[in-house]
Amino acid sequence: MIVLNCDIGESYGAWSMGLDAEVMPLIDCANIACGYHAGDPLTMRRTVALAARHGVRIGAHPAYPDLVGFGRRSLACSGEEIESLLHYQIGALQAFCAVEGTRVEYVKPHGALYNDMMANPSILASVLTAVAAYKVPLVLLATRDNSAEQALADEHGVPLWFESFADRAYEGNGQLVSRRLPGAVHESADAVVAQALALARGDALTARDGSALRLRSDTLCVHGDNPASVAAVRRIREALQAAQA
Give the domains, in start order, of the chain with CATH numbers. 3-244 (3.20.20.370)
pLDDT given at position 33: 98
Query: Residue 237: exposed, middle, or buried by beta-carbon count in 10 A (0-12, 13-18, 19+)?
Result: middle
pLDDT of residue 105: 98
Predicted local distance difference test score (pLDDT) of residue 231: 87
Rg (CA), the chain: 17
Helix, strand, or coil (residue 40): coil
Query: Which residues of the chain are under the pLDDT cut of 70?
Result: 245
DSSP, residue by residue, 75-105: ----HHHHHHHHHHHHHHHHHHHHHTT--EE
Q: What is the pLDDT of residue 215?
A: 94
Smallest CA-to-CA distance from 228 within 182, 176, 174, 191 is with 191
At residue 81, the pLDDT reads: 98
Whole-number pLDDT of residue 188 = 83
pTM of this structure: 0.95
User: pLDDT at position 97, please?
Assistant: 98
d(C-alpha 150, C-alpha 155), whole Å: 9
